Structure 1
Amino acid sequence: MMYCVSMLQKSWLHTSVRTLKKTPHNLKGKSAADQRWIVRQLNDPFVKAAQDQHYRCRSAFKLLEIDEKFKILKPGCSVIDCGASPGAWSQVAVQRVNSAGTNTEIPIGFVIGVDLLRIAPLDGAHFLSFCDITARATQTQLQELLPAARADVILSDMAPNASGFRELDHERVVTMCLSVVDLAESVLQPGGSLVCKYWDGGQAHQVQGRLAHAFREVRTMKPKASRKESSELFFIARFFKKK
C-alpha cells in the first residue's frame, strides 16, 4: 500500500512527540558526532516510517511529498534516478510509474538508477552500479536502455561527501546539479521534468538560471523530511523546452 505524506504527518509526526523521545544505550567508546547521529536517528519519525513501510531510507518521503505536490511520476513514465544508492527514490519511482507491472490496467513505466556505489537489486528497476552519471559511456548506456532513448523524468538526490568547508561543498553540489542539467539536455523528452537536490548558497542561481532557460517552470521546495538544520533544497523543473 502506498502512503502519501499527509498520512505520514497524521500518524508518525503526531505520534513522535509522545513515543520517539528515546535514549540510546551502548554509546560508550563512540565519538560525540556518532552519538549525536544515533540519537537523531532514534528520534526521527521518518526513519521509523521508512522501516515500517519498507523503504530503503528516509529520503523516500522527500520524493513522495514532491510528487504529491507536482505530480511528476505517472504510470508509463521512463525515469532516470541519478545518485540512486541505496535505492529509496527508485522504490518510489517504481511504485508511481508501475515499472514492475504490478497493475496490469495502467501503462508500465521504466526506471533506471545510476550511482558510483553498488545499488542492491530492486524489482522494476534497472541499476547501473559503479557508474558515473557524467561519463559519456554511462550516458550512451542510458540511451541504449531507455525506451525510445529518452526519459520523461530525471531525479537527482546526489550530494558530495561533506568536506567540512561549506563553500567548497556548495560549489561541488552546484557542479553536480549542472551535470544533471547537461544530462537533461541530452536525454529528456520534450515536456519532461527534473527534480534536483541542491544546497542553498551563493552559486545556486547558476543552476536556477540554466533550468529557467531549459524549462518553462522552475520551483523550489524543502520537503518536511529535509531536516530543519540542513541547507538542503530541491529544484523542481517542469515542461522541458527541447528544441
Structure 2
Amino acid sequence: MLARASSLLGRSGGARPSIARVPRCRPLEPSLQTVRHASSKRGGSSSRYMQRQKNDVFVKQRARPSKPGKQDYDEQDDIAASASGYVARSAFKLLQLDDRYKFLRPGRVIVDLGAAPGGWSQAIVERTRRKPNAGMPVFAFDLLPVVDIDGVNSIRGDFLDVAMQDKLRKMVQDATLSSQSQNVASTETEGYVDVVVSDMMANTTGNPIVDTEASLELCRAATSFAMRTLKRDHRVPQAGERKSPTWMASKSSVLVMKYFMSHEADLFRKEVLETQFHFVKAEKMEASRKESREQFWICIGFKGAHISNP
C-alpha cells in the first residue's frame, strides 16, 4: 500500500476507508523494445479494441518520424506498436492543452508528475527547447521508469510519499539556484517552478467511489507540491481588467492535473483550486477517449501563500 500524502483540505463527511494505492496500470520494468500483440484467441473484445486502435487518429499520428534518440514504449492504453514518434498517445492531450493556453514556453522550469513512459516530457521538450542543451531541463517523476530523453531529468518513487516529494523539490530547487541569481530564501517564499503538469492516475477498480477518491488523492498531492514550488503571481487584477487565459498562462505560473469527473472533484475545485489560482477551468481534450471520465484542470496564476514544509 502506498503511503498517503498530506491532504490540503479536510474531507467532508465521516472517516473514509483505507484504499490500497497502486501505480498506474502498466507492466513493471518492461523492456522498451518489447511489442505486445492482442491474441486472436481472446475473442471479440480484443478485435474491437484493435479496430479502435487502428481507427484512432492519435495512434496513427504516433507513427510519424521522430527525432533521433527517442525510443518507443508500449503502454497498456496503447498496445498498438509504433516504430517511432511519441512514446505515449497521451502526449497529444498535453499538446492540445498547450495549443489552447500557450504555457509551454522556452526558459520555463517545468515539472512533469506521473511522467512514465515519457510522452508528456517529450512534448514539453519539443515545445520548450528550440536548441539542444538549451534552457532548463524538464523534471520528470514517476513510480515507473521514464525513457531516456535528451533534456529530461527523471526521478523514480511513490509520489504519495512526502519524503519523495521533498527529494524532487530539492532536485528542482538546486538546479534552479545553480542557473539563476536567486537564493534559498527567495525560492522558498516566492517559488521557483513555472509549470507543474500531472498525468497521474491510479489503477481503476470499476468502483466509482473508490476510483474517484484515488484520483482526488493524487490531485491533492500534486496541488500540495505545486503550492510549495510554483512561483507566486503578484499581479492583482484590477476592477474591470480582463486578460485572456492564454495571455495569463504565457506569463504566470500554471498547474495542469488530470482527474475523474465527480461531485467531490467539483468541491475540491471550488474549495481549494479556485481559492489558490486566478483562473481555473476544466477541459476535455479531443485526444481523450469519448468514453473516458477523465478531464484536465488548467489552473493559472498561483496567488496563495506557500504552505510550509512538513
SS at structure 2 position matched to 1:203 = helix
Q: Does 1:189 align with 2:189?
A: no
Q: CA deviation at 1:133?
A: 2.0
TM-aligned CA distance change 1:101 to 1:232, over 3 Å: same
In structure 2, give the amino acid aligned to 1:48: K
Q: Hey, what does 2:220 align to over in structure 1? A: 178
In structure 1, give the amino acid aligned to 2:115: A
SS at structure 1 position matched to 2:221 = helix
Segment of structure 1 superposing worse, 83-92 or 185-194 = 185-194
TM-aligned CA distance change 1:134 to 1:27, over 3 Å: closer
After superposition, give the CA deviation of every residue in 1:186-239 in whole Å (9 maximum; x if it has no partner).
111113110001111121123312111111100111111011111111000000
In 1, the alpha carbon distance for the partners of 2:196 and 2:43 equals 38
Please tell me whether the aligned partners of residues 38 and 46 of structure 2 are also in contact (alpha carbons under 8 angstroms): no
SS at structure 1 position matched to 2:209 = helix
- Structure with bigger helix share is 1
Q: Hey, what does 1:124 align to over in structure 2? A: 151
In 2, the alpha carbon distance for the partners of 1:94 and 1:207 equals 31
In 2, the alpha carbon distance for the partners of 1:214 and 1:151 equals 16
In structure 2, give the amino acid aligned to 1:198: Y
TM-score by length of 1: 0.82
Q: Does 1:217 align with 2:279?
A: yes
1:154 to 196, 207, 218: 196
1:238 to 300, 304, 309: 300
TM-aligned CA distance change 1:83 to 1:26, over 3 Å: closer
Q: Hey, what does 2:138 align to over in structure 1? A: 111
1:62 to 54, 74, 93: 93
Please tell me whether the aligned partners of residues 40 and 46 of structure 2 are also in contact (alpha carbons under 8 angstroms): no
Q: CA deviation at 1:31?
A: 5.0
TM-aligned CA distance change 1:127 to 1:201, over 3 Å: same
In 2, the alpha carbon distance for the partners of 1:180 and 1:238 equals 15
TM-score by length of 2: 0.65
In 1, the alpha carbon distance for the partners of 2:143 and 2:91 equals 19
Q: CA deviation at 1:135?
A: 2.1
CA-atom RMSD, angstroms? Answer: 2.0
SS at structure 1 position matched to 2:263 = coil
Please tell me whether the aligned partners of residues 97 and 109 of structure 1 are also in contact (alpha carbons under 8 angstroms): no
In 1, the alpha carbon distance for the partners of 2:113 and 2:40 equals 37
Please tell me whether the aligned partners of residues 76 and 110 of structure 1 are also in contact (alpha carbons under 8 angstroms): no
Q: Hey, what does 2:266 align to over in structure 1? A: 205
- Structure with bigger strand share is 1
In structure 2, give the amino acid aligned to 1:197: K
After superposition, give the CA deviation of every residue in 1:65-102 in whole Å (9 maximum; x if it has no partner).
1011111111111111110011110011112221x843
Query: Which has the higher Rg, Structure 1 or Structure 2?
Result: 2
Q: CA deviation at 1:35?
A: 3.3
In 2, the alpha carbon distance for the partners of 1:32 and 1:176 equals 34
Give unpaired runs (5+ residues) of structure 1: 1-24
Q: Does 1:28 align with 2:40?
A: yes
Q: CA deviation at 1:30?
A: 1.5
Segment of structure 1 superposing worse, 86-95 or 138-147 = 138-147
Q: Hey, what does 2:238 align to over in structure 1? A: none
In 2, the alpha carbon distance for the partners of 1:36 and 1:207 equals 36
1:102 to 127, 132, 135: 132
Q: Hey, what does 1:46 align to over in structure 2? A: 58
In 2, the alpha carbon distance for the partners of 1:227 and 1:177 equals 21
Q: Does 1:139 align with 2:139?
A: no
Q: Hey, what does 1:227 align to over in structure 2? A: 289
Percent sequence identity over aligned pairs:
35
After superposition, give the CA deviation of every residue in 1:143-179 in whole Å (9 maximum; x if it has no partner).
2221146311010111111111122111210111111
TM-aligned CA distance change 1:174 to 1:27, over 3 Å: same
Q: Hey, what does 2:117 align to over in structure 1? A: 86
Please tell me whether the aligned partners of residues 142 and 159 of structure 2 are also in contact (alpha carbons under 8 angstroms): yes
